[in-house]
Amino acid sequence: MRQVNLEEAGWMLARVWLTAMEQAARDFHGTRPWKFCNRAYEYATEEFLRVLEDEYGLRARKADSIKEAVESYIELGVKAGLFKDASQFELKEVRPSKLEVKVALCPYVETCKDLLDKGFTLRDLTCPRIGCFRAAVKHLANKECAEDVLRAAIDVERDSIVFYVGLKESVSHKAGKEKIEAIIKEEISHIATLNKKLSALK
């Protein structure tokens, strides 16, 4: 048995509350509580920015574009200790209204694992990281970016499929190969759902 240090305790508390929020949202809004969770991410991001400015003198730059807003939020997150460094993220502006986001190291991955362990599927999960980026864009650039969030989510799903296909090759049937195949099918169906939502926005 070991003692939990202060940094670990902070992340553990965030993980516990995010998992609890996701579960509570589903109690009241079913398996796809996107609107509820996105509003929560908006409030959390707004409060995060306020506390950093009022109590620590750290202020995020206002932005004119989606990319600038996400960059500003990442810069602030590094200063605040939320992110290790900006290299965790790869941002590609395809056009002013479309930003592709790749996350190399997500601080919320344990929350996703907790929910999967509780029986939720990948299709059921919202994404705190993308949700907070979307909220930052709304707050710092005064822009809605539902289309870009969907595109980012599709990219994440595709990357996940590549990962699980590689993992499947090194896992035996006894060790759970069928479960990995089921996850891959789930991811593929999720991309189809996201593409339908994306088409509806055009």
Can you give the pLDDT at residue 152?
57
Give dist(CA 75, CA 77) in Å, integer: 5
The domain in which residue 45 lies consists of 6-145
What letter would DSSP give residue 61? P
Most confident of 54-68, 99-113, 120-134, 148-162: 54-68
Give dist(CA 199, CA 131) in Å, integer: 20
- Residue 12 tokens read as 């553990």
Tens of pLDDT, residues 3-27:
877 777 887 888 888 888 888 888 8
Can you give the pLDDT at residue 83?
86
**Residue 34 belongs to a domain:** yes
- Residue 142 tokens read as 């005064």
**Residue 94 belongs to a domain:** yes
More confident: 32 or 194: 32
Can you give the pLDDT at residue 171?
62
Give dist(CA 73, CA 81) in Å, integer: 12
Q: How many domains does the chain have?
A: 1
* Contact (Cβ atoms closer than 8 angstroms) between residue 77 and residue 49: no
Question: Torsion angle, CA of 31/46/109/97, rounded to 10 degrees?
Answer: 80
* pLDDT of 198 higher than 90: no
Can you give the pLDDT at residue 153?
58
Can you give the pLDDT at residue 52?
94
**Residue 76 belongs to a domain:** yes
